Amino acid sequence: MAHLPNPDSNLTNIKWRFPSVHPEGRKYVMIAGGVTLLTYLLVSHFIGWLLVGLTIWVAAFFRDPIRTTPLNPRLIVAPADGLVTHIVRVPAPPELRAELREGEFTRVSIFMSVFDVHINRSPIAGRVRRIAYVPGKFVNADLDKASEDNERQHFVVESVDGVKVGFTQIAGLVARRILSFVAEGDQVVAGERIGLIRFGSRVDVFLPAGTGTRLLLGQRSIAGETVVAELGVDPRLAGSVQ
């Protein structure tokens, strides 16, 4: 994972560049492009031009932008791009209780629409202690019950200080595959790419006891960059919708 130089180095300018397409999505872009070309040549120029838009959308869906993650072991960063739809106190999922133990956790749910970046990232640095896949339904991931009913994949990452943070990929209405880029026992850094969900979904992150979120309902997060919480700090923020 690339790290930006510190402010004392000679390199201080960062230029925007077009996001690349993640390797997992390149075959879908090629399929969409091939169908578009054949339709344009053999069926209809008009429909072919319409399918150009679909091809561009497929490429955009699998875009994989570079993110800059704060290197502070006390910070928990967002595992997903999207809209903060739920902030609730809940027990740990049954599949993670052996690692996270009993008690209540603050669950922050981030809903990814089909227009958001769908690469998911680790909220903290540490070792992957647990990955648990659970088959299930494909109801709207924006609903609270999706945490218990939908197809999902749980993770627990343990920091060098022994702090464990759980998070869950949840499939949605049109999501039909949850992918993991890491395995149990792998060492990850905060903001590292750990998985992807196709197409439209949600990610829950479970904050340890004594830790509250810096996010508010209705805010948008950026995976690997937005600070969800600081370990041991509960800011108890209030906000307004304008």
Residue whose token pair is 């627990």: 156
Q: Residue 199, preceding bond cis, omega within 30 degrees?
A: yes
3-state per-residue secondary structure call for 113-179: CCCCCCEEECCCCEEEEEEEEECCECCCCCCCCHHHHECEEEEEEECCCCCEEEEEEEECCCCCEEE
**Token pair recorded at residue 231:** 């370990």
Which backbone phi and psi does 77 adopt, to 5 degrees?
A: -100, 160
CA count, 13 A, side-chain hemisphere, 239: 12
* Active-site option among 113, 201, 221, 240: 201
113 is catalytic: no
Q: How many helices, marked H, and strands, marked E, lie in the chain?
A: 4, 15
Which alpha helices (DSSP H) does the chain contain, by range?
23-42, 45-61, 97-100, 146-149
Residue pair 81/221 in contact by the 8 Å Cβ criterion: yes
Positions annotated as catalytic residues are 201
